[in-house]
Structure 1
C-alpha cells in the first residue's frame, strides 16, 4: 500500500529524517510515536506527498506519487493536519463539503450531500451542521476537519489511505476514543491509516503496527507488543517506564516514572 525506502529530508542544512524505511499494508493502522523533534510529522508529510523532495522514493499502491493523476490521488488519499486555518467564515456543513470538491465542478450532487451527512453523523457533529465554524471550540473544529477527511474518502474505491497528524489535540477522552475507533474501523475494511500520536497507551490499544522514532531515525517498528517495551521506550524518551499487561485486552500498559 505505502512503501518508502531510505527516506531522508533536510531543511536549512538540518537533517530531520535519516534513511527511514517504512512499509504499511492494506488493513494496517500504523501509529508513529516518539519524543518531540523525532521527525514524526515530517515523515507523515513525506508519506502524504506534501514534501516534494525524496517523494520519488515513496510508493502508494505500487506507483510513485508523481505517476498519479492529481484528481485520482485525491479520491484515494486524504490527510488530516494538526494546523488548520483559524478563520473560515462558513457554516460547518460547508467546511465538511470541502472534502467533496474532487467529486463535483460547481454544484454538489445529491450523492455529495448524502456523503457529508453520513460523515458528520459518523464523527458525531451532525448537531453542529448549521453552526458557524469560527465559533466552535478547538475540539469541535478538530472533529469538523475529521468529518471533511472522511467525506473525501466516501467512495467505492478499494484500499484508500488516510494520514492524520496528531488528530487528538483538544479532544476529551470520549472523543479521542471515538476518533481512533473510527480510524480502526476504516482500516479493518481493507484501507490503511497512518497517524502520529503522543499517547503510547492509545497506540498500544489501537495500532496494528507501531513505528518508534528518535532523532530522525527508526528506533523500532513492528507489532505494539514488540515495539512498546520498557527498553525501547526508555531509550527513545530518555525516561524510565514499566510495562504491565492489560487484564482484559492483554495489551501493553505503559506507566512512566520509577
Structure 2
C-alpha cells in the first residue's frame, strides 16, 4: 500500500471527544461485565478509570480501544463506530498498553520499542522513527537496557519497555491499562507525569489505575466503576469523597488534603 492510500489522522482540539461509549453492554457467561455504560474521552485530558476488582475497568478500556466488541450500545472513535475503522487506521490514532504484557519472545528492548512505529510505515511520519524511538526509550528510563533480551528483564523493566513501545507510536490517544502496576515509586510518578505531559500537549489519555491517590494527583477526571456501571464521573475532588469511596469499595475511608497540592489523599479508616 502506498502512502497516498493511507488516511492520516488529524489532530483533535482540546476538549473534543475522541472516543466514547454509548449505552454499552457486554455480557460473558450470563454476567454483565458492562451494564449501560456511557463515557466520553476528550483531547487534552487524563481520564482515570477506577474501581474495585472486577468492576469493569479493563473491559471498558478494551471496548473503547476496539479490541472487544460490545453486545449492546456502541463504541465510537472519531465520531463513528469503532467497527467502521480498519485496524491500521485505528493503530495510527490510538496506542494501547494492555494489562497483561507478555513480552516473552527473545526480542531486544530496542526491537520492542521499534514495534511502536509499525503503523507509520509507508507514511510521511516514518521519517520520525529514529527520533520517536530514542525519545520513548529515554522517557521510560530504559536506555541502559537497549540490547537486553526481553525475557531476561525484571517485571518492572518489561513494563517500562511496553510503555516505551506505546509512547513511540506518537498517536493522539493513549489507552493505558494499569501502567504503574509493576513499577517502583519513582517510575510510577515518571510514567504518570509523562501521561500528564501528553495531555497538556493535547492528547487524550485514558488510564486504568488501582491507586486512588495516583489518580487524584494526575487525572483531570475520574470515572469510578462498580459492578459494570459507572458510579461517579467528575473531577477528582467530586468523585473521591469519603462517602462515595467508602460505598463503592465497601470499606470505610477518610480523605485528607495533601499539604502542598490540596488534592485529597484517600486513607482507610483504622483503629487507634
TM more than 0.5: yes
CA distance in 2, matches of 1:115, 1:243: 40
Aligned to 2:223: 211
CA distance in 2, matches of 1:109, 1:42: 32
CA distance in 2, matches of 1:94, 1:248: 41
Q: Is the 8 A contact 1:165 1:197 kept in 2?
A: yes
Cα drift, residue 169 of structure 1:
1.6
Aligned to 2:175: 163
Q: Is the 8 A contact 1:58 1:64 kept in 2?
A: yes
CA distance in 1, matches of 2:38, 2:134: 38
Aligned: 1:53 with 2:70 = yes
Aligned to 1:157: none
Match of 2:83 among 66, 91, 109: 66
Aligned to 1:248: 260
Aligned: 1:14 with 2:26 = no
Q: Is the 8 A contact 1:7 1:19 kept in 2?
A: yes
Match of 1:129 among 146, 171, 181: 146
Cα 1:93/1:4, change in 2 over 3 Å: same
Cα drift, residue 64 of structure 1:
1.8
Q: Which deviations, in whole Å up to 9, do the C-alpha atoms of 1:159-208 show, x marking residues without a partner?
A: x1111111112100000000000001001111101111011011100010
Root-mean-square deviation (CA), in Å? 1.7
CA distance in 2, matches of 1:127, 1:69: 36
Aligned: 1:28 with 2:31 = no
Cα drift, residue 85 of structure 1:
2.3
Cα 1:35/1:247, change in 2 over 3 Å: same
Structure 1 residue ranges without an equivalent (≥5): 155-159
SS state at 2:76 partner: strand
Q: Which deviations, in whole Å up to 9, do the C-alpha atoms of 1:133-183 show, x marking residues without a partner?
A: 1101000000000000011126xxxxx111111111210000000000000
Cα drift, residue 3 of structure 1:
1.6
Cα drift, residue 70 of structure 1:
2.8
Structure 2 residue ranges without an equivalent (≥5): 1-17
Tell me how many residue pairs correspond in the alignment.
251
CA distance in 2, matches of 1:85, 1:111: 27
CA distance in 1, matches of 2:131, 2:58: 32
Cα drift, residue 2 of structure 1:
1.6
Aligned to 1:194: 206
Aligned to 2:269: 257
